Structure 1
Amino acid sequence: MTVLDTATAPRPYQSYVYAYPHKTAYGALRPRPALRDLWAAEPRDSLALYLHIPFCEVRCGFCNLFTRIGAPEGLAGRYLDALERQAVAVRDALGDEPAPRFTTAAFGGGTPTFLEPAELERLFGIAERRMGADLRAVPLSVEASPATATADRLAVLAAHGTTRLSLGVQTFDPAEARAAVRPGQQRTHVETALGRIRDAGFPVLNIDLIYGIDGQTERSWRASLAAALAWRPEELYLYPLYVRPLTGLHRLDPAGTEAGWDEQRLRLYRAGRDLLLEAGYEQVSMRMFRAKDSHPGGPADHACQTDGMIGLGCGARSYTAGLHYSFDYAVGPGEVRAIIDDYVSRPAADFAHADFGRAVDGTESRRRHLLQSLLQARGMPVADYVERFGCRPEADFGPELAAFAARGWLDEGPELLRLSPEGLAHSDAVGPELFSPAVRAAMAAYDAK
């Protein structure tokens, strides 16, 4: 284990840890393992299903997701053709003894609602008929942008039982939208989209907002929060702005790492957190806030720490107990286009193997379990860790946990390991400090493209 320096706290904004290991730690798998072999002994009674659409109408300046601007004539259709070929191959590899059971689903990107209504119908068909997912019986989340949240598209989502619609607003301030390189976004367009979403009747509306934008003040931040709260969204995500390599903002401001920016983001985070708590929201994680009286969105018996995930699409990842895998990853426009072009040209048989990935051995499984549990506001019952791994977490991560405690980042309690409010504020420092040396080295060696 790495011994941490408890005297000096690390920078609060290092990395948004939404999955571990990160895709930049993946490598080419040679020989390519067959999906049938990977899933042969895996539990399949509580799987997550994720479908990835890699198209957006614009690319925001902060975005480092796997996506491209627009789709030349016919490309969206060819992409769905490939997605269907992949779904057939994956479903065949999963087999029927027992048949897979999907307990949660999501369409992301990119922007799934970039697709035309007929294409969205086809996307649902791939999930329902090809994969066998009962989307009306499980929580289903779909991401959208204000420009693509049109009435005809939303009608398709609602008709297929979408329980959660997540709208990427980021800011209600036009000047801040320009500073974040979101060209053309006007508040009137955002408000119109929100009205359509509410009219469509989705049980859960989520609004994404970003803090730390150049020129943003606490007053303007509170104004965006107030504008969002006027719609009484069931969920709000508050994201700190990052400036990452190969993004639009990185080209404009390749530094973006001053200590003053850290202080600004922490100040705005605390202001937003306090405002939402006062407004009747509960904090689920550093980023996520949920209205206390919100709709649960359907049964949720999928555990991200232990259950598997099937990802379809060239930006999706899949998880088995021993291997996380995906396709190649890129941010630069040229590289993204090349990967998409390769994906749409693949024959069905080529989707029966995993291309890129990283083995998740026993030690990495422990790190992943602790990391994904600890970054949730409810924390991790120590008994869960003991039941799965046969020892207490401090036996595996004593130096790391001691460092967190010394910084005031942990709440006291022998049977519940939980971040304190200040620990939650520093989640983007907590997560990276739990990365293994091997994963750190692989991420450092990744050649951004």
Structure 2
Amino acid sequence: MKTTRAPAPRPYRSYVYAYPHKTAYRELADPPELAALWAGEPKDALSLYAHVPFCEVRCGFCNLFTRIGAPGELTTRYLDALDRQATAVREALGDGEPVRFATAAFGGGTPTFLTAAELERLCDIAERRMGADLRAVPLSVETSPATATADRLAVLAGRGATRLSIGVQSFVEAEARAAVRPQRRADVEAALGRIRDTGVPVLNIDLIYGIDGQTEESWRLSLDAALAWRPEELYLYPLYVRPLTGLGRTPPEDDREWDERRLRLYRYGRDHLLAHGYEQVSMRMFRRRDAAPLGPDDHACQTDGMIGLGCGARSYTSALHYSFDYAVDMREIRSIIDAYTETGDFSRARVGRWVDAGEARRRHLLQSLLQAEGMPVAGYEERFGSSPFADFPEELGRFEALGWLDGEAPEGLLRLSPEGLAHSDGLGPELFSPGVRAAMAAYEPK
């Protein structure tokens, strides 16, 4: 394998949770009909995602597509539009072959911003309009300390939720304030108790490292507070400061120094969880070793056959990734949500990016290599008729030279080393195609 000694990329460049990145999407010149897009696609193991773009507060680090509050009857109008979209999408899928959903998820925003009655309606849309059997498949739902109320959680448990994910970020109140996420630890603990009371089998807790003022000691306090609940899953996220977010308006720290601090906290958190009975699934995801997995791992939303409902959701076919317009600025988000609620025709894909054979190779390598278990080379070769080492000699050669590939992996398995996993957010963007990089660079944040 060809190697190179080019400088290592910075460890925190971009959180790679989807490829191509949404900032590479553009308005489609000739919007294709959904029926034509899905005509030749496998439909026996689809993934369903419903996006709820509302939160009670906008965290300082958040660049997700969400708005604060929902004045008037906005949530009703939004669910009305979601119902219309689901009806159009299900019609486009057709009845020529069986349509079956293998997984489902509600995200946001904060799905539990909706009332209990509205959550019932959301589940009805997934089941009655789309045909998803929520009690028969893994169903993951995101929540927050303030919205994890007993009545809302009871609805989700009763409708088949198998995983509840709560964004705590920090159990230290001063750190929560520094991240522009005001919350009391007592309220967080009460919400966790209510989640455990539901009996939903998987609890996931999100924590963030790299917050201003955070130390190894305070980081351990949050880790131990989370471990006290014995969550089946824990996600450890590095803090990012993005344009147009609350923290994005503050002067940035020295980047290199911050990189080193985040790496130090990451390694501390990783080792602490490994020592307390967790296994590492990806850079971010840790699963309790004695907990049975009930749903997909990090990369599952990357698979073809993804149906996204809602104005911030993406859908994936083998040839096109599509969604609606995207923004971070609150005024722009409000405008897009309003336009979505007024949409009557959901029969076409209007914003997206076509995925050719080369991009499909990159996507497969990305979504596999960033998982701790690695990628069987034979599976790649069978799918694409070529070797990843022939397709990506420079990139893989560079990763090897940097010590990011596991030299002790079993033969035939391409796997990252522990340091490779630690640098996932620097490694991932190295696999982006020139076309995607150019589109991302040309994107004007709004």
Report the TM-score range of the alignment, normalised by the length of the smaller protein: over 0.9
Shift in Å, 1:296: 2.3
Where does residue 73 of structure 2 map in the other structure?
Answer: 74
- Are positions 1:158 and 2:157 aligned together? yes
Give the residue type in structure 1 aligned to 2:402. Answer: R
Alignment of 1:415-430 (within 5 A): 415-430=412-427
Alpha-carbon separation, structure 2, partners of 1:333 and 1:104: 31
Alpha-carbon separation, structure 2, partners of 1:248 and 1:298: 33
Stretches (4+) displaced over 6 A: none
Alignment of 1:49-448 (within 5 A): 49-183=48-182, 185-253=183-251, 255-256=252-253, 258-297=255-294, 306-347=303-344, 350-412=345-407, 413=409, 414-448=411-445
Shift in Å, 1:46: 1.0
Alpha-carbon separation, structure 1, partners of 2:349 and 2:173: 43
Alpha-carbon separation, structure 2, partners of 1:329 and 1:223: 36
Query: Gaps (5+ residues) in structure 1?
Result: none
Alpha-carbon separation, structure 2, partners of 1:206 and 1:327: 28
Shift in Å, 1:81: 0.1
Three-state SS of the structure 1 residue aligned to 2:146 is helix
* TM-score (normalised: structure 2): 0.97
Give the residue type in structure 1 aligned to 2:435. Answer: A
Deviations 1:266-308 (A, max 9, x none): 00000000000000000000000000111322699x9655431
Give the residue type in structure 2 aligned to 1:387. Answer: E
Deviations 1:358-406 (A, max 9, x none): 0000000000000000000000000110000011100100110010000
Three-state SS of the structure 2 residue aligned to 1:290 is strand
Give the residue type in structure 2 aligned to 1:100. Answer: V
Alpha-carbon separation, structure 2, partners of 1:85 and 1:304: 23
Where does residue 30 of structure 1 map in the other structure?
Answer: 29
Give the residue type in structure 2 aligned to 1:246. Answer: L
Where does residue 46 of structure 2 map in the other structure?
Answer: 47
Alignment CA distance shift 1:61-1:304 (3 Å): closer
Three-state SS of the structure 1 residue aligned to 2:205 is strand
Are the counterparts in 1 of residues 3 and 400 from structure 2 also a CA contact under 8 Å? no
Give the residue type in structure 1 aligned to 2:59. Answer: C
Are the counterparts in 2 of residues 211 and 268 from structure 1 also a CA contact under 8 Å? yes
Give the residue type in structure 2 aligned to 1:151. Answer: A
Alignment CA distance shift 1:105-1:318 (3 Å): same
Give the residue type in structure 1 aligned to 2:33. Answer: A
The percent of aligned pairs where both chains have the same amino acid is: 74
Three-state SS of the structure 2 residue aligned to 1:216 is coil
Three-state SS of the structure 2 residue aligned to 1:411 is coil
Deviations 1:41-97 (A, max 9, x none): 011111110000000000000000000000001000000000000000000000011
Deviations 1:389-427 (A, max 9, x none): 011100100110010000100012440000000000000
Alignment CA distance shift 1:353-1:406 (3 Å): same
Shift in Å, 1:140: 0.6
Shift in Å, 1:157: 0.3
Shift in Å, 1:7: 3.2
Are the counterparts in 2 of residues 243 and 256 from structure 1 also a CA contact under 8 Å? no
* TM-score (normalised: structure 1): 0.97
Alpha-carbon separation, structure 2, partners of 1:187 and 1:305: 34
Give the residue type in structure 2 aligned to 1:49. Answer: L
Alpha-carbon separation, structure 1, partners of 2:293 and 2:244: 38
Three-state SS of the structure 2 residue aligned to 1:146 is coil
Give the residue type in structure 2 aligned to 1:97. Answer: G
Alpha-carbon separation, structure 1, partners of 2:270 and 2:426: 18
Alpha-carbon separation, structure 1, partners of 2:291 and 2:332: 41
Alignment CA distance shift 1:298-1:212 (3 Å): closer
Alignment CA distance shift 1:444-1:5 (3 Å): farther
Provide the aligned C-alpha RMSD in A.
1.4
Residue correspondences, number:
442
Three-state SS of the structure 1 residue aligned to 2:337 is helix
Are the counterparts in 1 of residues 381 and 388 from structure 2 also a CA contact under 8 Å? yes
Alpha-carbon separation, structure 2, partners of 1:103 and 1:165: 18
Give the residue type in structure 1 aligned to 2:325. Answer: D
